Amino acid sequence: MTGEIPTEKVLELCETIYTKVLKSIEEDFMTIPEEKARWVMSAESNKESAERYDAWAEQYDADLQSWGYRSPAIIAGIVGRYIPLDSSPILDAGAGTGIIGEVLNILGYKGIVALDLSKGMLDVAARKGVYSDLYQMALGKGMDFPTDYFAAVVCVGTFASGHAPPDSLDELIRITRPRGHIIFTVRSEVYERGGFKRKQQELQLANEWQLLEIVGPYISIPGSDDPEGTNKVFAYRVT
């Protein structure tokens, strides 16, 4: 009939409008800093997490700086307590845009290697010129590094909801040399409920590592409106 639009065309138009509206809502939403933190913590897969961090990457440093991100200073202090300056290579696991690598580099550490799920975050990290290598890789089973390869590992802000699981710790121990250090943060909401406490204790009972120190809890991003946002830092020595 003249003037009638075929059903397929109507469906196609609806889909186009829906996609555009969704994209515009997502863009508006991404201008609110607090929402970005919630958004990445509600990711339900590595793919979703990588996509969300890719979208945030270019604005990430400015947001974290405006929130008064405290972890870099705290981690620098703890790294200085345990990791000798000539330790190399050092893995920055979940390196993101390289905020921690930058601090370690300024302190004089060399051979810092970045690993992250998000290519967008790694691209920003690469531009800082502080990493000897950068790998787009997921924390967890089957990490593509030889056993006993790293002198030390740091992992900051990456053990949280919607991020890397407790099983990541098995592989971090495998790729760290005996007597090497693993220093990492765990957010409060995943420490017990997310299985980190149990996993960390199992590894201690199995004599895989020795706990040296727990620092915190502290609020890592005081400027963000996030009631659960406390972290502890754990320092372990691999046996």
Ligand X SMILES: C[S@@+](CC[C@H](N)C(=O)[O-])C[C@H]1O[C@@H](n2cnc3c(N)ncnc32)[C@H](O)[C@@H]1O
Residues that bind ligand X (CB under 6 A): 46, 49, 53, 71, 94-96, 99-100, 116-118, 121, 138-140, 156-158, 163-164
Amino acid, res. 185: T
43 vs 203 by CB, closer to ligand X: 43
- Residue among 180, 172, 231 at smallest CA distance from 203: 172
| CA 134 – CA 113 distance, rounded (Å) | 6
Task: Look at strands 230-238 and 176-187 and give their pairing.
Answer: antiparallel
Give the total residue count for the chain: 239
> Closest-CB residue for ligand X?
96
Give the pair of three-digit tokens for residue 84: 């000798």
Alpha carbon of residue 21 to chain centroid:
30
Q: How far is the CB of 30 from ligand X (least distance, A)?
A: 15
Question: Whose structure tokens read 């997310």?
Answer: 194
Shortest distance, CB of residue 234 to ligand X, whole angstroms?
15
In the complex, minimum distance from the CB of residue 7 to ligand X, in angstroms, rounded to a whole number? 42
Residue whose CB is less far from ligand X, 55 or 164: 164
Cα dist from 80 to 77, 109, 159, 196, whole Å: 5, 10, 22, 24
Structure tokens at 223: 């400027």
Q: How far is the CB of 173 from ligand X (least distance, A)?
A: 16
Nearer residue to ligand X within complex by CB, 39 or 209 = 39
Rounded distance between C-alpha atoms, residue 116 and residue 129, angstroms? 16
To ligand X, the closest distance from the beta carbon of 123 in angstroms equals 11
Query: CB 76 → ligand X: shortest distance, Å?
Result: 12
CB-wise, 104 or 151, nearer to ligand X? Answer: 104
Q: Residue 100 or 235: which CB sits closer to ligand X?
A: 100
Decide if 46 contacts 117 (C-beta within 8 A).
yes
Q: Of the two residues 164 and 183, which places its CB atom closer to ligand X in the complex? A: 164
